[in-house]
Amino acid sequence: GAVVSQHPSRVICKSGTSVKIECRSLDFQATTMFWYRQFPKQSLMLMATSNEGSKATYEQGVEKDKFLINHASLTLSTLTVTSAHPEDSSFYICSASTPVGMNTEAFFGQGTRLTVV
Amino acid sequence: LAKTTQPISMDSYEGQEVNITCSHNNIATNDYITWYQQFPSQGPRFIIQGYKTKVTNEVASLFIPADRKSSTLSLPRVSLSDTAVYYCLVGYYTGTASKLTFGTGTRLQVTL
């Protein structure tokens, strides 16, 4: 199946600093990618939809100025957590879809564990 | 997007067949049903997808009744390594990508 790669897999940063997470589709072009956040023992929560060449679409309650999303090419989307605080510590996951027949199959990155200290 | 309801958790012994049922009463005509598996600190992994009747692949089977208001993921002869969270998702093809909304998932614990 298609491969989506996230980097880094784990990051620890100081409170107040910014962290960038990369999501790459390695063997297909993804015009749309999605960013999720997952807290311990909870389900994935969709944060935003990243569209190549245009602004991201954020879900209700997600601060667009805090979670900056850039989708500069068909294979790369980045999520920057600005001025990170301990409550931003979470597991961040990206996904990209590729059409399969009449429906799409989503492929997920391996996730990034962010710890803000 | 159709809302899904699954059991929060299930327990099984190794070697048994496990069936996880998902309810999606307001599924739309164009919606497909997809199941994902997630291990701790990893991204979800695609298991199986179907529209109606039965679908089988090398790891699981998916049973969908005629009214499509529910679906059952069947895992034959589970092993310890099948301990994970299983998510049932319902969504449709939008032309470029489908926005997937995750429900609570079912935490499957397999023991000896």
Tens digit of each residue's pLDDT (9 = 90 or more) over B94-109? 544 456 778 889 999 9
Enumerate the residues of chain A whose CB falls inside 8 A of the CB of residue B100: 34, 46, 95, 106
Question: Whose CA is closest to B45, among B86, B1, B76, B105?
Answer: B86
Residue A35 at interface with chain B, using a CB cutoff of 8 Å: no
pLDDT tens-digit profile of A25-46? 998 888 788 999 999 999 999 9
Which of A45, A103, A109 is the closest to B43 by Cβ?
A: A109
Collect all residues of chain A within an 8 Å Cβ-Cβ radius of residue B51. 103
Cβ–Cβ under 8 Å, residues A6 and A112: yes
b/e code B30-63 from CB counts within 10 Å (16+ = b): ebbbbbbbbeeebbbbbbbbbeeeebeeeebbbb
Collect the ranges in chain B with pLDDT lower than 50.
95-97
Which residue among A49, A103, A110 sits closest to B49, beta carbon to beta carbon? A103
